[in-house]
Structures are given as C-alpha cells and as structure tokens.
Structure 1
Amino acid sequence: METIRSIGASVCITMIVTGIFSILIPGKAMEKTVQMAVGLFFLASIVLPIANGDWKGFMSVQSTREEVSLPDLEQTVEQNMIELTQEQLCDQAKALLGAEGITAKQVSVTVHIDGDNSITITEILIVLPKEEVLNFPLAGQVIKDGFQIEPKIMLEGDG
C-alpha cells in the first residue's frame, strides 16, 4: 500500500513541477528543447517509483488474502447449495403429499454433497398430524415413489 501511495505522490508532484516549467518556458528558440526536457523529466518521474517499488511484498499479501478466503467461499457456497436443495426438496415432498390429500405437519430432507459434486438424499422425515393416521402407509409410498428413498414417517407427538 505504501508503494502505491509513493507512486501517487510522485505523479502529483511531477505534474505540478512540469506545469510550472511549461509556464516558464522562455521564447520560441528554446521552446522545443525545454518541452523535450520537461517531457523526459515527467516520464522519468513516473517510471522511477514504479521500477523501484517493492512489488513482491504487495503481490504476496494480495495472494495470501485470496488463498485464505477461497476455502471459506467454497464452504459457504456448498452450505448454501445444501440449504437451498433441502428447502426445494421439502417443498416438492409437501406438494406430492398434498396431491394425494395428505397434510404433513413437518417435512425435512437431509442431503449430502459427494466428492464428485453429486447431491445425495440421505434422509426424509415426515411428521403427520394424528388425524392423518390412516394415510400413514400412503404417505410412505408417495414419498418412496417420488424420491426413491424410504422415508421416516412419524405421527405428531411420537418420539
């Protein structure tokens, strides 16, 4: 950061000095020579701080920050993907049950992301109200047909 400040200050000071020299150029005879000298001074003043700057430290700090934040970003993305998938699968399970006239008190789906980035449903839990006791087998069959996994079905109040 100090290197960037140094370059910025150098450019500002160089522009001020160059402007002053441009104003003080004597008559027409020396104008081209002085303009060339002022231009060379300006270019040298810009190039010198960049060439002498400590860019290794600047680049290593930046790359270290990226390395630290990248795993956190991957973990956050994976967690968000799991949460969204679980939410969508819960909604889909409720819709399947609702199409059969079954009202679920609670539906929860647990998923896992494998090493090859495939999503696997590990568990489906359905809590039915006591009034739905007769639909207990139908609810299990509907979910099994829809998701190809055997759900855990409980009645409300059961442990």
Structure 2
Amino acid sequence: MEAISQWAASLCFAAVAGGLCQMLAPDSGLGRVLKLSISVFFLCSLLLPLGALELDFSDVLQTSQQEKSYELSEEITEEVNTEVYQMMEGQIEGEVQNFLSQKGITPVQINIDILQQGDSVMLMLDLLLEEKDRPMQAWMEEQMSSDLVQVSVHYTEGEKNNG
C-alpha cells in the first residue's frame, strides 16, 4: 500500500513541476520542444513505477498445477485399481474352477465381485451350477466361505439360493 501512495505523490509532484515549466516556457519553437519534453517526463513518471512492480502469480499457477496433478493421480490410481481387481477376479475364477473340478463339479457360470470398504476387502462369489451338483452345496459353502468370502449358489433348474 505504501508503494501506491509513493507513486501517487510522485505523480502529483511531476504534474506540478511540469505545469510550472510549461507556464514559464516561451511560445516559440524552443518552448514547444520543452512542452513535449515535459509531457514525456510526466508519462515516464506515470509508467516507470508500474514496470518496477513485481507481480507474482507463481502461487496461483503452482496451485493450479498441483490440483491438476492431484486429479491426474486420482484418475491413474482408479484405473490401476480397476485393472488389478479385474486381474484378481480372473485369477480367483480360475482357482475356484480348479478347486471345484477336483470334486467333479463343473460350474456353468462364476461371478466374482470384489467389494472394498475402507481397509477391508470382501469377496462375493456367485456360482451357477447344474442341478446334479446340489448334494455338494454344504461342502462348497463350508470349504469356500469365510469372513472375507461370501458364497451364493444358484442352480440351472429350480434355483435355490443360499449364502
């Protein structure tokens, strides 16, 4: 604020000095050159302090760049998490299929959902089996269910849902 008041005071002094000099200048050719010089002096005293101002917009630019990098980081993290979950679902599906095939069970369809709530991850396993595999349901639920895995079994004929 002090710089602005100093700039205004210097403009006032330059205007007073220029006005006095113009009143004292003769009307001849030399007087016109003096009046032109006084006008240039006043214009310089008006514009020169503006050139000395240090306008720093780096904080604004830096904040904008930080916001953009944060948004980009969030997008990349989300994409990586999605890809990792898809890879995990594929591997888990293969493991479930191998595990069931050891007991002679061939699933018609396996759906896997991975739910993340805070730090914990819950695996939702949805099996569609043929009716002939119904006697193995208790064994499957006992072997495959846990605190982190919820098993739901459906059958192709006369569906029955447990889980």
TM-score for both structures, normalised by structure 2: 0.51
Task: Point out which structure has higher relative CO (alpha carbons under 8 A, 6+ apart).
Answer: 1
Aligned AA (1:127): L
User: For the residues of structure 1 that align with 2:138 and 2:150, how far apart are their CA atoms?
Assistant: 7
Specify which structure has the higher proportion of helix.
1
Aligned twin of 1:68:
71
User: For the residues of structure 2 that align with 1:115 and 1:107, how far apart are their CA atoms?
Assistant: 26
Closer, same or farther in 2 for the Cα pair 1:150/1:112, shift >3 Å?
A: closer
Closer, same or farther in 2 for the Cα pair 1:63/1:86, shift >3 Å?
A: same
User: For the residues of structure 2 that align with 1:126 and 1:67, how far apart are their CA atoms?
Assistant: 40
Closer, same or farther in 2 for the Cα pair 1:158/1:85, shift >3 Å?
A: farther
Aligned twin of 2:139:
141
Given that 2:144 and 2:151 are in contact with CA atoms closer than 8 Å, whether structure 1 keeps it comes out as no
Aligned twin of 1:112:
115
Closer, same or farther in 2 for the Cα pair 1:107/1:144, shift >3 Å?
A: farther
1:128 correspondence with 2:126: no
Displacement, 1:107? 0.9
Given that 1:108 and 1:125 are in contact with CA atoms closer than 8 Å, whether structure 2 keeps it comes out as yes
Given that 1:102 and 1:139 are in contact with CA atoms closer than 8 Å, whether structure 2 keeps it comes out as no
Identity in percent: 13
Structure 1 gap ranges (5+): 1-52
Q: In the TM superposition, what whole-angstrom CA distance separates every residue of 1:91-145 from its partner, at most 9, and x where no partner exists?
A: 11111110101111101122212312x3221x2111113xxx2321314523531
Q: In the TM superposition, what whole-angstrom CA distance separates every residue of 1:8-55 from its partner, at most 9, and x where no partner exists?
A: xxxxxxxxxxxxxxxxxxxxxxxxxxxxxxxxxxxxxxxxxxxxx975
Name the count of aligned residue pairs: 104
The 3-state SS of whatever aligns with 2:111 is strand
Q: What are the within-5 Å matches in structure 2 for residues 46-125 of structure 1?
A: 59-116=62-119, 118-121=120-123, 123-125=124-126
CA-based RMSD: 2.9
TM-score for both structures, normalised by structure 1: 0.52
